[in-house]
Amino acid sequence: MPPKAKASPKASPAQPTPAVPIEDLFTSLHRHVRDFEYEQAAKVADQVLAVAPGDEDALRCKVVALIKSDAIEMALSTIQGSRHLPVDLKFYEAYCLYRQNKLYEAMKLLDGQERNSVILQLESQILYRLGKMEACMDSYEKIQRFKIDSLDLKANIIAALVAAGRSAEVQGTMEALKVKAASSFELAYNYACSLIEKKKYAEAEQQLLSARRIGQEMLMEEDYADDEIESELAPIAVQLAYAHQLQGRTQEAIEAYTAILNRNPSDYPSLAVATNNLVSLRGTKDVSDSLRRLDRLIEKGSGGKQFQLANGLDFKLSSRQKESLYSNRLLLLLQANKMDQAQELVAVLPDMFPDSVMPVLLQAALHVREKKVAKAEEVLIQYANKFPEKSMPVLLARAQIAAAAGHYQISTESLLKVRDIQHMAATVATLVSLQERMGDYNGAAAVLDSAIQWWKNAMTEENKLDLIIHEAANFKLNHGREDEASQLYEKLVKSHGNIEALVGLVMTAARTDLEKAELYEKQLKQLSGLKGLNVENLEKTSGAKHVEGPQIVKVEVSEDVKKAKSKKRKRKPRYPKGFDPANPGPPPDPERWLPKRERSSYRPKRKDKRSQIRGSQGAVVREKHDALTPATTASSTNGPTSKPSQGSTAASKGGSQKPAAASERPKASGKSKKKSRS
């Protein structure tokens, strides 16, 4: 019988671990928060909630600790799992949605909340990311009533002002906030951006250099590592390169952008902006490399999105920056003739940027590239009719496309729809030129008359009335409207006394009203040197007579020039080596430059007839045949000969043929090089 198995000893019942007092847990929680140990703080908060479920302080500490440790998804799930508790966590939920770029959902949660300083700060940041700058500034103005003394808040206010296009107010706002640009590198950077918006590029460059210096000093004092400092200051480096670009220092800007990309800092928004600006500077040069750089930033989307930006850039870039990236990629695809990819991208741009006109302009550019000009014109006019408040750039693009295609009527109609620029000199000149090409001279004259009437009533510093009147007078004079042209010239003469207008008036009135021409002709100043001329006798002459032969012109030379010429030193003639000018010897042969056959001393050589063979003719032929026979036999006994190449055949046809020049390049090698590049 097998032995019985020994019974295993019974385990003693587990003793319950002594519970940690909740006061000690809160003490530990406070210590972790104070030391910025947020992951440990979240774990301790869980222990507190296990002892005291629903504790409001522990729940808030856990949510904040998860947010601080960038565990946004866990924080959001914790909030959603505690909806049954009587704890208001809508602010934290809205902040988590803001971090996930769910901006409209976040704004919806803030509705109905009391507008305290914390809520207003989150609201202003959401509005800033949405690009609603005026509403953002309204929130910041409400925040200022709380008199919060925070450099970060003040830097955000300045950034919002610049983004809202109110850079002119930055200086006054900084004085009201009692803050200077040197207070922090963020403020210095934002102030430099305001200078760029005001086109003070040199001052902006100096301010950016100051911001970089302040930032390096501040971050080094806070014990930041070198790579962290470089990442924090990357936006300043990119903005410096942008300042160079705006000043026309293109090569410096390209080198700066390239250096930033080579360093590859961990600040992805700065890398994206540097890439985009470098691509824009290159233009149509090296399209393939530019496309590769942008393709690293734009990738296929997920969750119903066809495209998205890499490295979370959708949450970090403004709407205008993202639009610039996608637009540049589409333009490069058109340059590379990748129409399928361009059509795929242009189809989704209207949904990605619904408030922008750029998608419809890019769609028209695609149609033009496909040689569908009529389709491009149709797309643009439909958009202009649907959104009249945004129609100006669309109508201008339609006018340009139509004019380039020779559709002058469509181009004219598009320009006439843009009321705000009808009176501008460039618009007037373009409309007149287009209508002249169509032969509509009455329409061109009407455009000029309308512009004159507008500038008469305009109250502007730079009034273009005189310029428009002068061009209108020239136009009407050239098209046979002398009376109208004369009236316009007369207005110019009476208002400003313009000499050009006076000349035009005399010329025009001479055709229609001779008395008026004579009256105004008296106002013309006489040219110097014409007083002694008798005009009547000059008219009776047959004109200037042409004198044949050389004309002797006496030129008066000053005494100084004569003395300078007389003082010139004469150089001694240089003789060949061993030549004695005192005994030159016999003179050289005057016929030495002629060929020998043409010289008088030439005598041809006589032929030697003594070597001629006397005898019958057959004897000579037989001797030649005997001499050639051994050579032919020798060549045939060496075996079959190879077929000569084309080169050897060409050389055997004549011994005097020259070889091909060494500088000529074979075409085949050129083709192989092109293939290797692709």
Task: List pLDDT tens digits, range 334-360.
Answer: 999 999 999 999 999 999 999 899 999
> pLDDT-based confidence at 603, cuts 50/70/90?
confident
Q: Choose from 477-486, 544-553, 621-630, 640-649 the range with maximum mean pLDDT.
A: 477-486
Q: Quick one: how far is CA 353 from the chain centroid?
A: 21
- Contact predicate 184/158, CB 8 Å: no
Long-range contacts of 656-664 (CB under 8 A, 24+ apart): none
Output the pLDDT for position 443. 93
Question: Strands, DSSP E only, in 383-463?
Answer: none
With residue 562 as reference, give the H or E element that holds it. Answer: helix 559-566
Q: What angle do CA 359, 276, 233 make, to 5 degrees?
A: 130
Q: Quick one: how far is CA 332 from the chain centroid?
A: 12
> What would the two tokens of residue 268 be?
């992805």
Task: List pLDDT tens digits, range 483-517.
Answer: 888 888 888 888 777 777 888 888 887 787 787 77
Output the pLDDT for position 677. 35
Q: What angle do CA 16, 17, 20 make, to 5 degrees?
A: 135
Q: Quick one: how far is CA 23 from the chain centroid?
A: 63
Largest distance between two CA atoms of the chain: 161
Which of 308-322, 399-413, 627-641 shows the lowest per-residue confidence on average (mean pLDDT)? 627-641
Output the pLDDT for position 98. 93
Output the pLDDT for position 558. 60
> What would the two tokens of residue 520 be?
């105004």
Q: What angle do CA 652, 653, 658 make, to 5 degrees?
A: 85
Q: DSSP per residue over 87-130, as a string?
A: ---HHHHHHHHHHTT-HHHHHHHHTTS---HHHHHHHHHHHHHH
> pLDDT-based confidence at 566, cuts 50/70/90?
low
Distance, in Å, from the CA atom of 18 to the CA atom of 21, rounded to the nearest integer, reads: 9
User: Which residue in this structure is represented by tokens 């419809």?
Assistant: 360
Output the pLDDT for position 378. 96
Q: At what angle do helices 90-99 and 103-110 cross, to 10 degrees?
A: 160
Task: List pLDDT tens digits, range 173-222.
Answer: 999 999 999 999 999 999 999 999 999 999 999 999 999 999 999 999 99
Which of 79-83, 86-90, 366-370, 503-507 shows the lowest per-residue confidence on average (mean pLDDT)? 503-507
Residue 323 reports pLDDT greater than 60: yes
Q: 3-state DSSP helix/strand/coil percent for the chain, to nearest 5?
A: 65, 0, 35
Q: Which of 88, 83, 76, 80 is nearest to 116 (CA)?
A: 88
504 or 673, which is more confident?
504
- Contact predicate 386/403, CB 8 Å: no
Question: Which segments of 170-318 does DSSP mark as H helices, in order?
Answer: 170-176, 185-197, 201-221, 226-232, 234-246, 250-263, 268-282, 287-295, 313-316
> What would the two tokens of residue 431 be?
């409309």
Distance, in Å, from the CA atom of 96 to the CA atom of 75, rounded to the nearest integer, reads: 7
Output the pLDDT for position 547. 58
Output the pLDDT for position 298. 92
> What would the two tokens of residue 644 be?
């000569």
> What would the two tokens of residue 132 be?
């609603």
With residue 300 as reference, give the H or E element that holds it. Answer: strand 298-300
Output the pLDDT for position 488. 86
> Three-state SS for 307?
strand
Q: Which of 444, 436, 429, 434 is nearest to 414 (CA)?
A: 434
Distance, in Å, from the CA atom of 237 to the CA atom of 270, rounded to the nearest integer, reads: 9
Distance, in Å, from the CA atom of 357 to the CA atom of 338, rounded to the nearest integer, reads: 23
Q: DSSP per residue over 36-64, as a string?
A: T-HHHHHHHHHHHHHHSTT-HHHHHHHHH
Cβ contacts of 74 within 8 Å, gap of 6 or more: 66
> pLDDT-based confidence at 250, cuts 50/70/90?
very high
Distance, in Å, from the CA atom of 610 to the CA atom of 618, rounded to the nearest integer, reads: 20
Q: Which of 373, 379, 378, 319 is nearest to 346 (CA)?
A: 379
> What would the two tokens of residue 517 be?
């021409």
**What sign does the CA torsion over 317, 321, 327, 331 have?**
negative
Output the pLDDT for position 678. 32
